[in-house]
Each structure stands twice: as structure tokens, then as C-alpha cells.
Copies of this chain bind each other. A is one copy, B any other.
């Protein structure tokens, strides 16, 4: 048994014996912060003296500190050593309990955008929610209505109303198997209503352009600047337009009020519809998130959300809030397609939402990602690189480069170094790529598992140095 008092903290830590003592120290420190035995702001002993106290190697202690900093329990303060972070007392562990930290996808360092930290998936709450869901009425396991189970539609209406200011009644909510499928269905609805074109942000997410195209709509690029996508290029006829107003993907800008108004004006004038992709609307780090655009005209704007960024993309679970005019055609399209989300998943999400566990998870992850974004900014500043573009939000940062050529070189160097990341060109963000388009890296700082974040940051700054 290796145990000892942590000097200066009056803290008794029990880290067991033999191999795995590093992990035990990590768990003990985490528990001490969580339970309040270590208060926010408390300064920890240096790694050297803690190692001596506990009979561990200094390297082990340094690694433990790094892990807990990555998780947000501790914060490294220049000149002051390591202090307990501003995490609220009583917050549950952000890591899966009782298991070795899982590794995320493949070898090397993964900084691709569009993913949350999958190792932080709330495994125990989800498993419990499934168990509770199954304890309910067997009738809910029958064929599901395409629009989803009433209990989840009501929970989503409440959630998006409260957190994003969306105007939603339960009967406006449609449960979806994630945003991509929802967009494919909406494209078919639009085509059936006689529309032929779809406005898309340029640069924007390639996959969605393709899905709209496969759905029979011709993508019309809308250039993006500091005020977001410019609706000026929208066609003078009924059409769909897909926007990311809260945090443009990939530029990270917020759609300006004048642009929002102009887009709604276009939709009313031309009998068009806006699809508001609120893909990471829950994650704003410097202030309250920008409200959804949907309340400007709930009969012209389809609000779309999912759990892909808050829980995991593999959940294939999301929602739409649908204008009245599109509800019947959308339901017909879903029926024709056999679209529908597994009942147990729907019940489990409704359970998490109604118990507030979903909110708690989002808040916890917001702290984790905020810390990462701050660290990323600090490290970029330290090497004299320009700061990330866009507002402090979301799960990715755009790092502008001088040219498409510099992007190409950097992405190539990253590949050699085993770092997976996207650029504006290599990630196919441009509607029509050309050498004179700006270059940039699109860094998914949420993607690495907690234990891998520091290493990823080191590798990235090494590349940009």
C-alpha cells in the first residue's frame, strides 16, 4: 500500500501498490476535487515533492497532472504551478468509470473536425436510461410513427425552446436519424414541392452539398465573410437554403442580424425555406450562445439539431422543428422511405432530457472544450501564430494560413507526423476549389480523448512552429 499525506494540502491520498499507481493517483485527485476536499484555486505541490511523498516517479506524477489538466480538474497557471480548476463541486467524473481510458480511432493523433471526445460519452447514464426506457410500456416497442415517439417530441420541444430559444410545439418536432438523413429527406420534399436549387455556404461542409445534390437540388454557393453567408446569390424562386447561423462551418463566424433578416425576407418573398443547421449551438465559451434564427419565422425556417456533437455521431439521433407547410410532405417522404428511429433510443434520450442529465453532460463537456480552446489559443500565441478565426464556440477552430499552397504543405507534413487534420482545400470545403482561395487548417480540438489532448496540442504546435 502506497499512501501518504500531500504536504501543504493536508490531504491523504491512497494510491495502492505496484503497477497502476499512476492511475490510482489520478482517480484519487479527481475524487478529491469532485468531493470538494480540494477546493477550486487550491495550489498543488510540485510534481517533484508529490512524487517523493507518494513514492512514485516524477514522470508518473507529471503525466497524472497533464491528464487532470486536460480534463479540466486542474489548471496550469504560469508562475504558480498547478491549481485546482474552477470545476463545480459535485460534478460527476467526465471520464468513463472503472475502465482504462479508451483510445480513439486508429493510430496517431486525430484532430479531424466534427467529432466530440468520444471517450467522454456518458456511458453509465445512457445505460441507465435504456434500462428505465425498457421498464416502460411494451406498446412503445411497436412500429413507430415516422415523426417519432410523443414523449421524445415533447422533451425536444422543451429542450430546444429553453436552450436555443426555438419556438417549437411537440407536434412541430420530428425525430430524425441524424442530420444527414434529415437533410436528404428535406431535399426530396423540396424537390417534390417543385424546388430545383439549394443555397449552400461557401466554404461549407462538403457532405451536405453532396446530399442536397443527390436529393435532386442544384447547390448554389453563398460566399461567407465576417458576417456569415451572403444570401444575395439566392435564386429568385422557391428554393431551400442551408445555413449554420450560430457558428459557421468552417469559418466560425456568427450570421449577422442583417443577413438573418435578409434571408428571411428572401424566403417570404420567394416561397423558400431555410434549414438552420444548429450543429454545435450548445457550445459557446465566451458568453451565452447566440439564439437560434428560427424564431424570426418558424413557418419559413426548419431548425435542425442532433446529439452527434453532444453525445456521439454513432447515436444517429436528432430532431427537426418543422414549419407547418412542410410537415405532411415530410411525413409522406419518411413513410415512403421507412425512416424511423429505434424506439429504445428515443425513449432513452427522452429520459436523459427530462431528468436534466443531458444538460449536465453538455455543461460538463462545455468546460472541457473551453479549456482546450483556451489552451490552443495560448499555445498558438506562444509560437507567434495568428489566433483561431471566428467566435469562441463549437468543436473546431479555423487556423488561417497564407495560401492554399501553405495549407497543402502543412497537411502533408501533418500526415508525415501521424496527425490527422483537415484543411479548407483538402477537406473539400470550397464549392469550387482553386489555388487563389484562402487556405486554412480546420482543427477539431474536441476529437482527442482527454489523455491524448496534450500530445495532440504538442504535435500541432510543432507543425505550425
| Residues of chain A having any CB pair with chain B under 8 Å | 96, 99-106, 115, 118-119, 121, 123, 126-127, 130-131, 134-145, 177-184, 210-211, 214-215, 312-317, 336-345, 449
Contacts and interface: CB of A to CB of B under 8 A. Distances in A.
A102 B314 contact: no
A137 B316 CA distance: 18
Given A314-B342, A342-B315, A343-B312, A141 B127 contact: no
A343 B311 CA distance: 12
Contacts of A115: 142-143
Nearest to A183: B338
Question: Which of A177, A183, A215 counts the most B-chain CB atoms under 10 A from its CB?
Answer: A177
A142 B313 contact: yes
Contacts of A313: 141-144
A187 to B, nearest CB: 10
Contacts of A184: 336-338
Cβ-closest 6 pairs across A and B: A180-B338, A314-B343, A181-B338, A214-B336, A141-B312, A118-B138
Contacts of A137: 102-103
A103 B142 contact: yes
A119 B313 CA distance: 31
A181 B340 CA distance: 9
A99 B135 contact: yes
Given A118-B141, A142-B312, A344-B345, 5 more contacts: A102-B144, A121-B138, A126-B130, A181-B339, A315-B342
Contacts of A141: 118, 121, 312-315
Contacts of A316: 144, 340-343
27 contacts: A99-B135, A102-B136, A102-B138, A103-B138, A104-B138, A104-B142, A104-B145, A118-B138, A118-B139, A118-B141, A118-B142, A121-B141, A126-B134, A141-B314, A142-B313, A143-B313, A177-B340, A181-B340, A182-B338, A184-B336, A184-B337, A184-B338, A210-B336, A211-B336, A314-B344, A316-B340, A316-B342
Contacts of A210: 336
Contacts of A100: 143
Contacts of A341: 316, 342
Contacts of A96: 138
A274 B219 CA distance: 36
A449 B138 CA distance: 9
Contacts of A336: 184, 210-211, 214-215
Contacts of A105: 139, 142
A159 B136 CA distance: 30
Contact of A139 (B102, B179, B340): B102
Contact of A145 (B102, B131, B449): B102
Contact of A314 (B99, B143, B179, B337): B143
Contacts of A215: 336
A308 to B, nearest CB: 8
Question: Which of A104, A106, A143, A144 counts the most B-chain CB atoms under 10 A from its CB?
Answer: A143
Nearest to A145: B102
A338 B211 CA distance: 8
Nearest to A117: B138
Given A131-B127, A314-B140, A178 B103 contact: no
Contacts of A344: 126, 314-315, 345
Contacts of A134: 121, 123, 126-127
Contacts of A135: 99, 123
A283 B179 CA distance: 37
Nearest to A188: B337
